[in-house]
Structure 1
Amino acid sequence: MDRAALTQFLEDEFQQVAQMFAIDDVAPMTATIRLLNDERHLRPGGTVSGPAMFALADVSVYLAIMAMIGPKALSVTTNCAIDFMRKPASGVDLICETRLLKLGRVLAVGDCLIFAEGHDAAVARASLTYSIPPDG
């Protein structure tokens, strides 16, 4: 699936969160997804919350997988580990650079680095495993 198809898939299947994200780039085994800056993602102190960063990593790996295998909406997260390394800059989008490390028949593993737009140091790193439903 290309960027346009992934955007449409997200809008069709996940209307509740589709407007939170933008797909910056998609290529074989990689995707760059953006969490659009919004006050609802902030925690006290004005920093982006951990759950919002988790959502960005989760959606990023999910979309990278869909780009490779097509629209299998029932693929699900089976594991996630996330390291929050520094406070993100406030008032900017977060950008997740995702790389699929393994894409098998039933499992996929992805690695993410999350950056605050305009900053070089990653604010979080995540590793996620997905279960892919069998055909049929």
Structure 2
Amino acid sequence: MSGPTLMALADFAMYVVLLSAIGPIGLAVTTNLNINFLRKGQPGQDVLAEARLLKLGKRLAVGEVNLLSGTSPDPIAHVTSTYSIPNV
């Protein structure tokens, strides 16, 4: 799977986790996304995103995502990201 596809999956996973915490607030946007590719995924296996918020503030949220392939517990990529939350 391509790097941009893995980045899109991680960004979407963080967006879902963020909106589950703050509700349906429009215009919450990614301000930073850093990805470390650790190893190749297993051929023919699904890629799963395990996302969690590290800090949720009034204006910024910081989280991390581990991307996993198949049944291996070792991540294929580690992602940190920051989202900007607009005033309501």
TM-score bracket for this pair, using the shorter chain length: over 0.9
1:119 aligns with 2:72: yes
Which sections of structure 2, spanning at least 5 residues, go unmatched?
A: none
1:73 aligns with 2:26: yes
Q: CA deviation at 1:91?
A: 1.4
- Give the TM-score of the pair, scaled to structure 2: 0.95
Which sections of structure 1, spanning at least 5 residues, go unmatched?
A: 1-47
Aligned residues: 88
- Counterparts of 1:49-64 in structure 2 under 5 Å? 49-64=2-17
SS state at 1:100 partner: strand
1:109 aligns with 2:46: no
Partner of 2:48: 95
Could you give the per-residue CA deviations for residues 11-67 of structure 1, whole angstroms, max 9, x where no partner exists? xxxxxxxxxxxxxxxxxxxxxxxxxxxxxxxxxxxxx10011101110111110100
Tell me how large the CA RMSD over aligned residues is: 0.8
| Structure 1 or 2: more helix by fraction | 1
Whole-angstrom CA distance in 2 between matches of 1:116 and 1:70: 30
Q: Which has the higher contact order (CA 8 A, sep 6+)?
A: 2
Identity among equivalent pairs (%): 44
Q: Which has the larger radius of gyration?
A: 1
Q: Which residue identity lines up with residue 86 of structure 2 in the other structure?
A: P
Q: CA deviation at 1:111?
A: 0.7
